[in-house]
Each structure stands twice: as C-alpha cells, then as structure tokens.
C-alpha cells in the first residue's frame, strides 16, 4: 500500500464512521489476535488510557459491530460480516503504511463540515 492512495471504500468508511485514533488502535489490538478476549483494564494498559475510557471504546466497538462481548467484561474482535472485516483489514494495512494520511483523514472526518457530509452515508437500524 506504500505510495498508493487510501482505497475509496476505506476513505468513505472513515469519513462516515465516528472512529478516532484510539478506536483504530483498539481495533488493531483486538484484530491482531481475534481469539484473545480483552478486558477494559487490559486494553487501557496497552493504550495508556484510563480504564473508563478503554471501557467506553470497547462498548463503542460493540455498537459499531466490530467487537463482541459474551459477558460484558471481556471483548473480542468479531466484525459483523466479511465486508466489515475486509474494510478493517484495509484499515490495518493503511495504518501501518500510511499512518499520517489515515490519521489526517480521521481528524478531517471529525470536523463539522465532514460530519455533515458523512451523515448522508450513515446506516441506521430503522433505514
């Protein structure tokens, strides 16, 4: 992926999702070993975050259907479907080879103008 543009489908996903850099870092940790379950405390120690923030990230990843929790204390990488898993694979590759571009895109998506643009691409349960 070095020297290439961020794929359009990944670019759209990053603009339409509410991912932050801590979300991406959490996704990459969970994705690295999908058989491992993570507690908020374990994630917090790896990401240098307070336990409360790590728990919030894990809960948000469950809402985004990137992670799952069997007992509300342990979380594992479980993308909802193959399409999402493929996007997250692209994200991992892009983050490893194009860190600056990906983080700029994430921060751009957080801007008010990008938020309005991304709203058109959000999927809702009631749609």
Domains of the chain by residue range = 8-119
| Separation of CA 87 from chain center | 10
pLDDT digits 0-9 by tens, 83-114: 999 999 999 999 999 999 999 999 887 765 54
Q: Are 84 and 65 in contact (CB under 8 A)?
A: yes
CATH no. of 8-119? 1.10.10.10
Please tell me the distance from the alpha carbon of residue 122 to that of residue 119, in angstroms, as a whole number: 5
pLDDT digits 0-9 by tens, 41-85: 999 999 999 999 999 999 999 999 999 998 989 999 999 999 999
Look up tokens 């990401």; give the residue: 47
């Amino acid at each position: 992926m070095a020297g290439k543009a961020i794929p359009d489908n990944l670019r759209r996903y990053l603009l339409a999702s509410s991912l932050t850099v801590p979300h991406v870092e959490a996704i990459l940790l969970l994705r690295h070993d999908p058989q491992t379950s993570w507690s908020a405390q374990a994630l917090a120690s790896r990401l240098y975050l307070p336990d409360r923030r790590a728990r919030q990230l894990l809960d948000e990843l469950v809402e985004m259907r990137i992670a799952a929790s069997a007992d509300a204390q342990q979380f594992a990488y479980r993308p909802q479907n193959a399409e999402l898993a493929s996007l997250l694979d692209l994200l991992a590759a892009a983050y490893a080879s194009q860190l600056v571009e990906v983080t700029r895109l994430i921060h751009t998506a957080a801007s008010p103008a990008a938020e309005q643009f991304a709203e058109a691409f959000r999927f809702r349960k009631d749609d």
